[in-house]
Amino acid sequence: IYHPGTGPMREARELHIAGTRLVERSAAADRTFVVWDVGLGAAANAIAALEALPDALEIHSFDLTAEPARFAARHAAELEYPQPWIHALNALTSTGEWRSPDARLRWHFHPGDFRQTMTRPGLPPPDAIFWDPYSPRSSPEIWQLEVLARLYATLVPERGCLLTSYSRSSAVRVTLLLAGFSVGAATGVGEKEEMTVAANQPGLLARPLGRDWLERVRRSANAAPLRPERPERQPITPEDLQALERHPQFSGGG
């Protein structure tokens, strides 16, 4: 239902695994790579990461409930992709943690509102963020500027991080930029022509948005950053546009 024409694993691999350059960047790191999987759902994104990095990976999955992951375990034969990971899913959803026998793979589940759980003590900063909550229309609270700014504040400047999202809307990209991220385009999957990648280090972006995109934002009827009081559709205000133009990505400062 949620992945027509592609299936969840293709989207996971092409957007989140390829988009964060997970395999290449982890190979260059001298430590265990850390992924924040925001929107565990039926666990396709996390499973794709476990299969891409079988030697050393630490995943922290966040969601309000583990029920979709339990559903995936119960229907593993029909869904196919969870089949090799039924034991891991059962451990994760019952105890909140699973480790491979050699402890090189570690998977943690943090139930609850991500606005609170992302600041729990002891959480390691991520190298990659799979940003896959429900859409800004159905779950507007998690996409808001204040939340993404707090997420950006959890990152370590010296530790590059890439965030991948299926959304390509101007409003979402403006929100990410005003939260502090640098933002670029990612190749689309299935019916989507383009998706979004964001970074805390501009040099990580292969296709950063340029001033031509900024011109489209000026003309857009739906480019205002996502805030609690924002109507469903709203053009960007002059104040937010000025703040966007001062972003190093467009001002030449980075």
Q: What is the pLDDT of residues 12-39, one digit of tens each?
A: 999 999 999 999 999 999 889 999 999 9
0.85 cut: is pTM over it?
Answer: yes
Evaluate if residue 187 carries a pLDDT over 90.
no
pLDDT of residue 190: 65
105 sits in which H/E element: strand 105-111
pLDDT digit string, tens, across residues 42-89? 999 999 999 999 999 999 999 999 999 999 999 999 999 999 999 999
Among 121, 128, 120, 114, smallest CA distance to 159 is for: 128
Neighbours of 156 (CB within 10 A): 12
Burial 52-86 (b: 16+ CB within 10 A, else e): bbeeebbbbbbbbebebbbbbbeebeebebbeebe
Q: What residues form DSSP beta bridges with 129?
A: 36, 163
Mean pLDDT of 106-120: 97
Cβ contacts of residue 65 below 8 Å, gap of 6+?
111
**Structure confidence at residue 1 as a pLDDT band (50, 70, 90):** very low
- Can you give the length of the chain in residues? 254
pLDDT of residue 8: 87
Residue 70 in tokens: 């339990």
Q: Give me the percent of the chain exceeding a pLDDT of 70.
A: 96
Neighbours of 252 (CB within 10 A): 6
pLDDT of residue 191: 66
Among 174, 169, 152, 9, smallest CA distance to 79 is for: 9
Evaluate if residue 4 carries a pLDDT over 50.
no
Among 79, 111, 113, smallest CA distance to 93 is for: 111
Residue 169 in tokens: 């809307």
Q: What residues form DSSP beta bridges with 168?
A: none
Maximal CA-CA distance, the chain = 56
pLDDT digit string, tens, across residues 142-156? 999 999 999 999 999
**Structure confidence at residue 193 as a pLDDT band (50, 70, 90):** confident
**Structure confidence at residue 232 as a pLDDT band (50, 70, 90):** confident
Residue 130 in tokens: 């799979």
